[in-house]
Copies of this chain bind each other. A is one copy, B any other.
Amino acid sequence: MLELRHLTRDFAGRCAVDNVSLRFDRPGFVGIIGRSGAGKSTLLRMINRLTDVSAGEILFQGRNVATLRGAEKRAWQSRCAMVFQQFNLVPRRDVASNVLHGLLGRRPVLAAIFDLWSEAEITRALAILDRLGIADQAAKRAEALSGGQQQRVAIARALMQDPAIILADEPIASLDPMNAQIVMDTLKRIQTEDGRMVIANLHTLDTARRYCDRVIGMRDGRVVFDGRPDQLSTGIAREIYGADASFNEAATSTAIPADARADADYASAMLGA
């Protein structure tokens, strides 16, 4: 259903994504892993068209969406939802409104401004929130929620779009392990229950192993691995994450190393001061 052909993105001469070609034939949970700066975010953002493509094609059901403009581009965006590391919700509005924002791509702007949502739409938004277990928070402001809850609101907004594809850019990088697990479970459930396609950038190997049907490894803008998670040997991981001496399995795990904890403690103490 989705195919990337020779997709490339230059930033002022630096190649963030370099001639990437990939096919996604059927729904599944795809994880993209790689070091910081490998080009994972840029790849997802190009698919959603938040970042323009320098060269190459993005074919969705045979049509190149990489060159769409205006209303057509927005129509594509509304079919391809995005979930961000920092949730990117509107913090001062309530949760239900944030979910309803998922419909903005299909709405005339005036109707949206006057908040003309039909009862059916509101019911659907609440049903989605309920499915993600946060219907009771619907009337609260988004900013009043915990990080894990906010990420679930973001997923609800994505579902509201009724998307063909959900792109998730490090959805759990800002969450503590418990919330991270809830969010990943949610994404996985959506993918399997609805048969949607989910492509997620992940920053730890073990998350990728646990949730993905297919893992893509990127390095310096190029795809260096594409296969099943059980094919991810330590050697391959080393290839993806580079041969730098500091690499070890633990550094890419969700478990928090001791010194990082002290840092975080220190930071919070300072900030609280």
Binding site for B on A (CB under 8 A): 86, 146-147, 174-179, 256, 261-262, 264-273
Considering only CB atoms, which chain B residue lies closest to A174 in the complex? B269
Which of B175, B179, B262 is within 8 Å of A176, CB to CB?
B262
Tell me, in angstroms, the Cα distance from A178 to B146 when the chains sit together. Answer: 30
A261 touches B268 (CB 8 A): no
Q: A175-B269, A256-B265, A264-B264 are in contact. List 13 more A-B contacts (CB 8 A).
A: A86-B273, A147-B269, A147-B273, A175-B266, A176-B262, A176-B265, A176-B266, A179-B266, A256-B261, A261-B264, A261-B265, A267-B272, A268-B271
B86 touches A174 (CB 8 A): no
B273 touches A271 (CB 8 A): no
Tell me how far the C-beta of A176 lies from the nearest C-beta in chain B, rounded to whole angstroms: 4
Tell me, in angstroms, the Cα distance from A271 to B271 when the chains sit together. Answer: 8
Rank and list the top 3 A-B pairs by shortest CB-CB distance, nearest first.
A176-B266, A264-B268, A267-B268
Tell me, in angstroms, the Cα distance from A28 to B146 when the chains sit together. Answer: 48
Tell me how far the C-beta of A146 lies from the nearest C-beta in chain B, rounded to whole angstroms: 8
Residues of B within 8 A of A270 (CB): 146-147
Residues of B within 8 A of A273 (CB): 86, 147, 174
Residues of B within 8 A of A177 (CB): 262
Residues of B within 8 A of A262 (CB): 176-178
Considering only CB atoms, which chain B residue lies closest to A260 in the complex? B265
B271 touches A147 (CB 8 A): no
